[in-house]
């Protein structure tokens, strides 16, 4: 090949898509593609999409529309749609968007290089199978990573079927990757300079293999020399097993941060959502987690305006937020998704949803500020991920996953340093390096 072909990937949605985009880039890398940040110079554009809310899915179509002039100027340009919109809409995408050459679902992307070859002759191809073979067995080994903090998908899919959610349909049933493979992939990442790994899964704490649960996996990973920090996301409250909670107390490499979505504080709404837990169950769980690791920072996800949500139901959600005290939270207006049970039910007026979202976000913002201010004066670990905007400044994540800016002219990406927090800004902290 004379000159490397260029690949532009745009990633939407969750961290699992970020991981998948890296693996797809590696798979195409083996076929001679190198990544570019500039869509205009690409030979292939891949959109790795998200179907979780209507807005996310519609964004994909408007972004595809914007690629039209590129395709006109360069008819050889290949355009692919991957991820959860690809899975949910498959063939439909080809019909609606004539410029798309291939559509590949999240379980089939190891076949991407072959699919691409088939498009060379002008064919348009779709693969949204949930194949028997494990895609991870058919992907090339992990390459150099983005930096000292990496993602590792350990579990995929979801069997929970929350009434509002498309993930069980787009990602399929819960599957855990084998223990030995994960250990090998983690060791490989550490050899390439990774010092922090975030274990990923749509229901990461449902991971189990050979009698081990996620707590057991974390304990084994923690024994890898050079791997200094572990995190995991996203968890379901019903899968917080005792040994995982214990690991938060016993394993210093497991960081004091946990994202634990609850969605609502109203038992009536939780039941309608098919969450299979109550608000009380969640509050008791939080107590047990905090007993194991008192300084843990908790974050969550909330949906406002779920069909049938009354003012009293919404107040119950605010009460739960007040009772827990979150470090931050993602909150969303309910979005009806085709094919889900909740989509059959009448929706609340948009103004009601808007007003509730604003009230909830105001409360969460207040709690986020309080949690950050409480860090001032404390000593934390910070793993430098990049240079800051000011000369001599480094930026990294604290143990509690706060972004921290540190004046440190000698600092380098990958350094894990002790820092005293000196100030809190709206979305980050500032600190001074200790020791060195
Ligand atoms: N598996 C994870 C996350 C799934 S998606 C979990 O169970 O927590 C991330 C978040 O998107 C969810 O936690 C939920 O708050 C939100 N979400 C999912 N479906 C939605 C919908 N139909 N409308 C609005 N928000 C939604
Ligand atoms: Fe969706 Fe519920 Fe599964 Fe989370 S647990 S991915 S919200 S169905
Ligand atoms: Fe979106 Fe699929 Fe992730 S729907 S949130 S990209 S699992």
Number of domains in the chain: 3
Alpha-carbon Rg for the chain, nearest whole angstrom, is: 22
pLDDT tens readout for residues 154-182: 999 999 999 999 999 999 999 999 999 99
What spacing in Å lies between the alpha carbon of 48 and ligand 3's midpoint?
Answer: 10
> Which has more pLDDT, 328 or 31?
328
Shared domain check, 386 and 354: no
Q: What share of the chain has pLDDT > 90, as a percent?
A: 92
Both structure tokens of 169: 């349909």
Q: How, if at all, do strands 212-213 and 297-304 pair?
A: unpaired
Shared domain check, 151 and 274: yes
Ligand 2 atom 1: the closest Cα is on which residue?
165
Q: With a 6 A CB cut-off, is 160 part of the ligand 2 pocket?
A: yes
Nearest to 158 by CA among 148, 144, 173, 147: 173
**Which ligand does the CA of 301 lie closest to?**
1
Shared domain check, 172 and 155: yes
Residue 397: what pLDDT? 98
Residue 136: what pLDDT? 86
Q: With a 6 A CB cut-off, is 203 part of the ligand 2 pocket?
A: yes
pLDDT tens readout for residues 278-291: 999 999 999 999 99
**Which ligand does the CA of 83 lie closest to?**
3
Helices 311-324 and 350-373, packing angle to 10 deg: 10
Q: Residue 418 in contact with residue 427, Cβ under 8 Å? A: no
If you write DSSP's letter for every residue of 115-147 in order, what string do you get?
A: HHHHHTTT--EEE----SS-GGGGSPPP-S-SS
Shared domain check, 385 and 347: no
Ligand 1 atom 18: the closest Cα is on which residue?
165
Q: What is the CATH number of the domain that holds 183?
A: 3.80.30.20
**Which ligand does the CA of 53 lie closest to?**
1
Q: Output 403-412 pairs: Cβ under 8 A, ≥24 positions apart.
A: 403/427, 403/428, 403/429, 404/380, 404/428, 404/429, 404/430, 404/431, 405/429, 405/430, 405/431, 406/382, 406/430, 406/431, 406/432, 406/433, 407/432, 407/433, 408/384, 408/433, 408/436, 410/436, 411/384, 412/384
Average pLDDT over residues 206-210: 96
Q: Taking phi first (over 0 means left), then psi (-120 to 50 degrees means alpha), and beta for anything else, what does residue 168 get?
A: alpha
| pLDDT of 270 above 70 | yes
Ligand 1 atom 5: the closest Cα is on which residue?
52
Greatest Cα pair distance, the chain, in angstroms, is 67
Shared domain check, 153 and 122: no
Q: Residue 333 in contact with residue 305, Cβ under 8 Å? A: yes
pLDDT tens readout for residues 335-360: 999 999 999 999 999 999 999 999 99
| pLDDT of 72 above 80 | yes
CA distance 112 to 68: 22
Q: What is the CATH number of the domain that holds 415?
A: 2.40.50.140
| pLDDT of 2 above 60 | no
pLDDT tens readout for residues 98-142: 999 999 999 999 999 999 999 998 899 999 988 888 888 888 888
Shared domain check, 187 and 46: no
Nearest to 283 by CA among 331, 324, 248: 324
Ligand 1 atom 1: the closest Cα is on which residue?
202
Q: What is the CATH number of the domain that holds 28?
A: 3.40.50.12160
Q: With a 6 A CB cut-off, is 168 part of the ligand 2 pocket?
A: yes
Residue 1: what pLDDT? 47
Three-state DSSP class for 383?
A: strand
Q: Residue 279 in contact with residue 270, Cβ under 8 Å? A: yes
Q: Which residues of 158-188 are buried (b: 16+ CB within 10 A; e: fewer)?
A: bebebbbbbbbbbbbebbbbebeebeebbbe
For the chain, give the mean pLDDT: 95
Q: Which of 127, 162, 192 is the last residue of a domain?
A: 127
Shared domain check, 206 and 283: yes
353 carries a ligand binding annotation = no
Confidence grade of residue 144 (pLDDT, cut at 50, 70, 90) = low
Q: What residues are in contact with ligand 3 under a 6 Å CB criterion?
A: 13-14, 16-17, 50-52, 83-84, 166-167, 170-171, 202
Ligand 3 atom 1: the closest Cα is on which residue?
50
**Which ligand does the CA of 13 lie closest to?**
3
Shared domain check, 365 and 302: yes
Residue 342: what pLDDT? 98
> What are the CA-CA distances from residue 341 to residues 80, 264, 276 (Å)?
30, 17, 15
Shared domain check, 177 and 211: yes
Shared domain check, 180 and 103: no
CA distance 336 to 342: 7
Q: Residue 30 in contact with residue 66, Cβ under 8 Å? A: no
What spacing in Å lies between the alpha carbon of 260 and ligand 2's midpoint?
Answer: 12
What spacing in Å lies between the alpha carbon of 191 and ligand 2's midpoint?
Answer: 34
Q: With a 6 A CB cut-off, is 258 part of the ligand 2 pocket?
A: no
| pLDDT of 23 above 60 | yes
Q: Which of 373, 388, 412 is the last residue of a domain?
A: 373
| pLDDT of 319 above 70 | yes
Instruction: Name the β-bridge partners of 404.
Output: 396, 429
Name the residue range of residue 107's domain. Answer: 5-127
Q: Which of 127, 161, 188 is the last residue of a domain?
A: 127
> What are the CA-CA distances from residue 231 to residues 78, 227, 381 (Å)?
37, 12, 14
Shared domain check, 83 and 232: no
| pLDDT of 3 above 90 | no
Ligand 2 atom 2: the closest Cα is on which residue?
162
Is the Cα torsion angle 277, 283, 288, 292 positive or negative in sign?
positive
Shared domain check, 164 and 108: no
């Amino acid at each position: 090949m004379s000159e490397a072909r260029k690949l532009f990937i745009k990633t939407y949605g969750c961290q699992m898509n970020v991981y998948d985009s890296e693996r797809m880039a590696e798979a195409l890398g083996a076929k001679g593609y190198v990544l570019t940040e500039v869509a205009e110079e690409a030979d292939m554009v891949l959109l790795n999409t998200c179907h979780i809310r209507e807005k996310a899915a519609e964004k994909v179509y408007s972004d595809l529309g914007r690629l039209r002039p590129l395709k006109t100027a360069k008819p050889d340009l290949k355009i692919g749609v991957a991820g959860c919109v690809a899975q949910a809409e498959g063939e439909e995408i080809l019909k609606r968007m004539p410029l798309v050459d291939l559509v590949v679902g999240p379980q089939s992307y190891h076949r991407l290089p072959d699919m691409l070859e088939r498009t060379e002759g002008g064919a348009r191809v779709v693969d949204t199978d949930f194949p028997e073979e494990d895609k991870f067995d058919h992907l090339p080994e992990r390459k150099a990573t983005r930096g000292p903090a990496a993602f590792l998908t350990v579990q995929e899919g979801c069997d929970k079927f929350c009434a509002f959610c498309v993930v069980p349909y787009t990602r399929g049933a819960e599957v855990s990757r084998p223990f030995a493979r994960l250990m090998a992939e983690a060791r490989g990442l550490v050899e390439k300079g990774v010092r922090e790994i975030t274990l990923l899964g749509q229901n990461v704490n449902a991971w189990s293999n050979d009698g081990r649960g996620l707590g057991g996996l974390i304990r084994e990973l923690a024994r890898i020399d050079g791997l200094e920090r572990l995190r995991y996301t996203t968890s379901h409250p019903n899968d917080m097993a005792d040994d995982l909670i214990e690991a938060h107390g016993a394993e210093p490499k497991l960081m004091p941060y946990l994202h634990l979505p609850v969605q609502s504080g109203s038992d009536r709404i939780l039941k309608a959502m098919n969450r299979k837990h109550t608000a009380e169950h969640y509050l008791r769980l939080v107590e047990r987690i905090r007993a194991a690791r008192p300084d843990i920072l908790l974050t969550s996800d909330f949906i406002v305006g779920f069909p049938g949500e009354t003012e009293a139901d919404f107040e119950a959600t605010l009460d739960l937020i007040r009772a827990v005290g979150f470090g931050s939270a993602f909150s969303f207006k309910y979005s009806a998704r085709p094919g889900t049970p909740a989509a059959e039910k009448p929706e609340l007026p948009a103004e009601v949803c808007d007003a509730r979202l604003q009230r909830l976000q105001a409360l969460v913002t207040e709690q986020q500020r309080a949690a950050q201010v409480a860090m001032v004066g404390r000593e934390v670990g910070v793993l430098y991920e990049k240079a800051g905007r000011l000369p001599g400044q480094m930026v990294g994540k604290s143990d509690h996953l706060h972004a921290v800016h540190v004046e440190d002219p000698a600092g380098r990406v990958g350094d894990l340093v002790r820092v005293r927090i000196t100030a809190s800004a709206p979305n980050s902290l500032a600190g001074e390096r200790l020791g060195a």
